[in-house]
Amino acid sequence: MHIDIAILGAGITGSAIAFELSKYNKNVVVLEEENDVSLKTTKANSGIVHAGYDPKPGTKMARLNVEGSLLIHELYPLLNFHYEQIGSLVIGSSEKDHQIINDLYERGVQNQVRDLRILKTADEVHHLDPNLNPQIDYALYAPTAGITSPWELCLALAYTAKVNGVDFVFDCKVLDITKNGDVFDIKTSQGNYQATYVINCTGTHADEIYKMVLKDRQDESFEITPSKGEYYLLDKDQGHLVNHVIFQTPTELGKGVLVSPTVHHNLIVGPDADYEFATKDDTDNLQKGLDYVRDSAKRSTDKINFGSNIRNFAGIRATIKGFDDFFIEESKAVPHFINFAGIKSPGLSCGPAFGKEAVRMLLLSGMNLTLKTDFKYYRLPTFFSNMTLREKEESIKNDKDYGQVICRCETVTLAEIKNAMHAPLPGTTIDAIKRRTNAGMGRCQGGFCGPKIFEIIKNEFHFSYDEVYQDRKGSKIVLEETKGK
């Protein structure tokens, strides 16, 4: 089958590009190594939609951050993913902090971030966020910053791409890419594909993928250095501690540890930035990383009760050492191969802007793009727990499976789980269901609903008990039946 554009990777970058390209009359296929979208860095970050004052002015990062955050704001009512524009504060207390904050403000103005303001007294800061430490007396206030659910945003973009004709191939590991004339031959674990254009959105492995196609040609290239960031996710009783995303003044390591509410009313704290022990695919938590995050958070507020922690996780950033921008370029040595590489923070915030950028680049490259007339947005179903009383009542009347609660902590119903199992990109594992419905995200982390969802998945797909996976293929939940077989 001939593909116009093959997108490698279904994280936020690949999904956003698929979303945008699905508006045009082109044959687009996404090849993804894992068995679902968002499984790498995209699901393991802070979920912040940055306002855009932080990236260096003039960089693609700065331009795409501001564009992306505006697009996310436009898209959330259309796609119905969780998003709240709660604003952010970069807080400080020393003279050095004041200077850094002033610089960030200037940068923000240059990057055309709207409504930025400096709060110059402790009173003003504590009026907005009373639980911050008393010595904090200066802050950069960015009202356009927001929070979202990163995997949900990725799913929303991917679903819309899917219903508008984009094909997604999962468990598809790229083994080799060769340009033969005008066509790319892509050899994968799921067979061979031919495409006119390839867009490389493979995160921490983007450099390896590019090397495959470059072969022994010379070109401006890049090397991905992984950096691990660890997090605490705390229970909802901590979710109201702060009202905004609270950033600390940046250090040489990056943006500092943040404290923020999440769209599900939890509290998220993190990340650190570890280059020493990080490898591209290892997302294990390290004691020293967790200790660093926990101690650093105290700089913002000492009121966090870590006894309410419900989950730790870690994500790997794809950084390019010594390069303070995204590497988004059409290859000169291999025309029609486009790299979207080094997508570290603020990658998520750029999301939909990556799609626009890809279209711009394809047009510049000479592609003829015509808009579809029948493009439609796919709205995510509203969470039962987010419905009004009336809406809940109606939902159960229309579908009695809304009356059966499966996940107690997050009030997720059977209807939502069934929807997830039959979504445009179906969830067939415990974690895939979790990402689509929130079931298992709550206080007990799936201890109660896990066995129930196991049974539901098994029955729905007629799996045998050892085909129900936690997440990745082969990650069996149960090993054996009792009483022999």
Partner 1 sequence: METRDLVIIGGGPAGLAAAYGAYSDGVKDILIIERDDTLGGILNQCIHNGFGLHRFKEELTGPEYADRYIKMVRETSVEIRSNTMAIDLSDDKVVTVISSHRGLEQIRGKAVILAMGCRERSRGAISTPGARVVGIYTAGAAQKYCNIDGYLVGKRIVILGSGDIGLIMARRMTLEGAKVLADVELCPYSNGLNRNIAQCLNDYDIPLYLFYTVSDIVSDEKYNRVKQVVISKVDEKKKIIPGTEIKFDCDTLLLSVGLIPENELSNKAGIELDKRTKGPVVYDNLETDKEGIFACGNVLQVHDLVDNVSKEGERAGQNASRYLKEGEKNSALVKMNAGNGIGYVCPQFIRKDDSKDYVEIFFRVRSPMSNIRLTLSANGKEFKSIPKIKVVPSEMESIRINKSEFDSASEITLEAKEN
Partner 2 sequence: MVCINCPRGCHLVVDTDTMTVTGNCCLRGKAYGISEVTCPVRTVTSTCKIEGGVIERVSVKTNKPIEKKLIFKCMEEINKVTLKAPVEIGSVIIKNVCGSGADVIATKTVGSSL
CB of 480 to partner 2, least distance (A): 12
For residue 82, give the 3-state DSSP assignment: coil
User: What tokens does 9 get?
Assistant: 């990777």
The secondary structure of 197-265 as a DSSP string is: EEEE--GGGHHHHHHHHHTT-------EEEEEEEEEEE-GGGTTS-SSEEEEPPBTTBS--EEEE-TTS
Among 50, 84, 75, 263, smallest CA distance to 161 is for 75
- CA–CA separation, 464 vs 485, rounded Å? 13
Q: Is 87 left (phi over 0), alpha (psi -120 to 50) or beta?
A: left
Question: Which one, 363 or 478, has the nearer CB to partner 1?
Answer: 478
Cβ(149)–Cβ(264) under 8 Å?
Answer: yes
Residue 40 C-beta: closest distance to partner 1, Å: 13
The residue (of 307 and 484) whose beta carbon lies closer to partner 2 is 484
**End-to-end Cα spacing for the chain:** 44
- Residue 379 partner contact from partner 1, partner 2, none using kind-dependent CB cut-offs of 5 to 8 Å: none
For the bound state, the minimum distance from the C-beta of residue 484 to partner 2, rounded and expressed in Å, comes to 6
| Shortest distance in whole angstroms from residue 448 CB to partner 2 | 16
In the complex, minimum distance from the CB of residue 257 to partner 1, in angstroms, rounded to a whole number = 15
Segments in 306-346 forming alpha helices (H)? none
Q: Is 15 exposed, middle or buried (0-12, 13-18, 19+ CB in 10 A)?
A: buried
Q: Least distance in Å: CB of 114 to partner 1?
A: 37
Q: Which is nearer to partner 1, 74 or 302 (CB)?
A: 302
Tokens 């997108």 sit on residue: 7
What is the closest distance, in whole angstroms, from the C-beta atom of residue 476 to partner 1 in the complex?
Answer: 7
Do 293 and 258 contact (CB within 8 A), yes or no? Answer: no
CB closer to partner 1, 106 vs 281: 281
| Interface residues toward partner 2, by CB under 8 A | 482-484
By beta-carbon proximity to partner 1, the closer residue of 87 and 446 is 446
Which lies closer to partner 1 via its Cβ, residue 81 or residue 384? 384
> Does the annotation mark 50 as catalytic?
yes
Q: How far apart are the C-alpha atoms of 442 and 435, rounded to whole Å?
A: 12
Q: Which of 100, 46, 86, 43 is nearest to 258 (CA)?
A: 46
Mask 294-313, x = binds partner 1 (CB under 8 A)?
A: ------------xx-xxxxx
Binds 171, which of partner 2, partner 1, none (CB < 5 to 8 A, cut-off by type)? none
Q: Is 463 in the site for partner 1 (CB under 8 A)?
A: no
Compute the distance between CA of residue 431 and CA of residue 66 in angstroms, rounded to an integer: 32
Residues 367-406, one symbol each (x = binds partner 1 by CB under 8 A, - = not), give ----------------------x--xx--xx--xxxxxx-
Which of partner 2, partner 1, none sits in contact with 465, Cβ below 5 to 8 A by type?
Answer: partner 1
Would you count residue 475 as binding partner 1 (CB under 8 A)? yes
Residue 9 binds which of partner 1, partner 2, none (CB < 5-8 A, kind-dependent):
none
DSSP letters, 25-74, are SS-EEEE-SSSSTTTTGGGSS--EE--S-SSPTTSHHHHHHHHHHHHHHH
Nearest to 375 by CA among 74, 79, 22: 22
Q: Pick one of 106, 194, 451, 461: the residue that binds partner 1 (CB under 8 A).
A: 451
Q: Residue 409 binds which entry of partner 2, partner 1, none, with Cβ cut-offs from 5 to 8 Å by kind?
A: partner 1
Measured from the Cβ of residue 321, the count of other Cβ atoms closer than 10 Å reads 11
Of 50, 82, 264, 336, catalytic: 50
Q: Which of 222, 232, 327, 378 binds partner 1 (CB under 8 A)?
A: 232
Which partner from the list partner 1, partner 2, none does 450 bind, CB cut-off 5 to 8 Å by kind?
A: partner 1
Please choose, out of 47-55, 173-181, 356-364, 448-456, the segment that lies near partner 1 by the rule CB under 8 A.
448-456
What residue ranges bind partner 1 (CB under 8 A)? 232-233, 237, 283-287, 289-290, 306-307, 309-313, 389, 392-393, 396-397, 400-405, 408-409, 411, 414, 443-448, 450-451, 454-455, 465, 469-472, 474-483
Which residues are the active-site residues? 50
